[in-house]
């Protein structure tokens, strides 16, 4: 069983985020997570590439995850969103 | 001999490098041809769980809602009705999840990407470009 902690640790190690939340929203159907990742490594990268970076950070366990919702931001984008909401 | 042994070693290492080269190694030529045709069957093509009128997963549903909102005409393929297709499409793009959205034959992303592009207005721009 994939734990919230494992997902958190792998992303933290690979993407060195300045902000990271991993929320376990498993619904009985299987491991299910919502992630919000803010990392300087996303700068200048299109969304598709950012999501691929997250997938590769979770390589090996991603096939045991039933569903994964990913939001990726740079620090600048994240500040904009947090201040407007 | 050393060339041969290094070749053997390289082949032996393929599983390790699988993510990087998945597109090259795990899609059979027949499936690649088939998928090349499928993704260009319309300007917008979606691989999903269920069909647009009856999605069988919340993520696939979200994508159909967004496309409906934009009044997009698209082709949809149900991966639940074909287990081989389900695996082939994942290998084709080296993308682990369904739904997958293609615009103009190019892979754009999954549900999260489409939703975010919808919010930022990027999706409208992209749809306008293809007419």
What DSSP assignment string belongs to B59-110?
A: HHHHHHHHHHHTT---EEEEGGG-HHHHHHHHHHHT--SS-EEEETTEEEE-
**B8, part of any domain:** no
| Interchain CB distance below 8 Å, A51 and B110 | yes
**B7, part of any domain:** no
Spell out which residues of chain A touch residue B108, defining contact as CB-CB under 8 Å.
Answer: 48
**CATH code where residue B78 lies:** 3.40.30.10
Determine the Cα–Cα distance for residues A29 and A10; give it in Å rounded to an integer: 23
pLDDT at B3: 53
**B33, part of any domain:** yes
| Interchain CB distance below 8 Å, B109 and A47 | yes
Determine the Cα–Cα distance for residues B36 and B84; give it in Å rounded to an integer: 15
Residue B117 distance to chain A (closest CA, Å):
9
Strand-by-strand arrangement of the B106-109 sheet: B75-78, B44-48, B100-103, B106-109
Question: What percent of chain B stands above pLDDT 70?
Answer: 80
**CATH code where residue A13 lies:** 3.30.300.90
**A56, part of any domain:** yes
Which residues form the domain of A68? 4-76
Q: Is the pLDDT of residue B72 over 80?
A: yes
Burial B88-102 (b: 16+ CB within 10 A, else e): bbbbbbbbbbbbbbb
**A35, part of any domain:** yes
The pTM is what?
A: 0.83
Among chain A, residues having any CB pair with chain B shorter than 8 Å are 47-48, 51-52, 55-56, 59, 62-63, 67-71
- 85 residues of chain A, pLDDT tens digit each: 789 999 999 999 999 999 999 999 997 778 999 999 999 999 999 999 999 999 999 998 998 998 999 999 999 999 998 887 6
| Interchain CB distance below 8 Å, B113 and A47 | yes
The tokens describing B63, both together, are 């994508």
Any A CB within 8 A of B43 CB: no
DSSP A25-62: ---SSS-EEEEEEE-GGGTT--HHHHHHHHHHHTTTTG
**A84, part of any domain:** no
**A82, part of any domain:** no
pLDDT at B14: 43
Which of B94, B108, B112 lies at the smallest CB-CB distance from A70? B112
Spell out which residues of chain A touch residue B97, defining contact as CB-CB under 8 Å.
Answer: 67-68
Overall domain count for chain B: 1
**A52, part of any domain:** yes
Any A CB within 8 A of B109 CB: yes
Question: Greater confidence, B105 or A1?
Answer: B105
Which residues form the domain of B37? 25-130
pLDDT at B27: 82
* Nearest to B94, CA basis, from B41, B25, B4, B34: B25
Categorize the per-residue pLDDT at B5 as very low, low, confident or very high, splitting at 50, 70 and 90: low
**A85, part of any domain:** no
């Amino acid at each position: 069983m994939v734990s919230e902690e494992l997902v958190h640790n792998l992303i933290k190690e690979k993407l060195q985020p300045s902000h990271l939340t991993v929320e376990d929203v498993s619904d009985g159907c299987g491991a299910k997570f919502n992630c919000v990742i803010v990392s300087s490594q996303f700068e200048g990268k299109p969304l598709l590439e950012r999501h691929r970076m997250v997938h590769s950070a979770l390589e090996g366990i991603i096939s045991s995850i039933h569903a994964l919702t990913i939001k990726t931001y740079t620090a600048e984008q994240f500040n904009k969103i947090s201040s407007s909401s | 001999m050393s060339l041969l042994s290094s070749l053997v070693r390289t082949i032996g290492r393929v599983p390790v490098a699988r993510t990087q080269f998945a597109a090259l190694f795990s899609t059979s030529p027949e499936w690649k041809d088939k998928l090349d045709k499928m993704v260009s069957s319309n300007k917008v093509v979606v691989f999903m769980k269920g069909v647009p009128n009856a999605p069988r997963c919340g993520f696939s549903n979200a994508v159909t809602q967004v496309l409906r909102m934009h009044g997009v005409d698209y082709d949809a393929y149900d991966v639940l009705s074909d287990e081989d297709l389900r695996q082939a499409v994942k290998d084709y793009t080296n993308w682990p999840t369904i739904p997958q959205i293609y615009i103009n034959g190019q892979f754009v992303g999954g549900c999260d990407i489409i939703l975010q592009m919808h919010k930022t207005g990027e999706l409208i721009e992209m749809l306008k470009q293809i007419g």
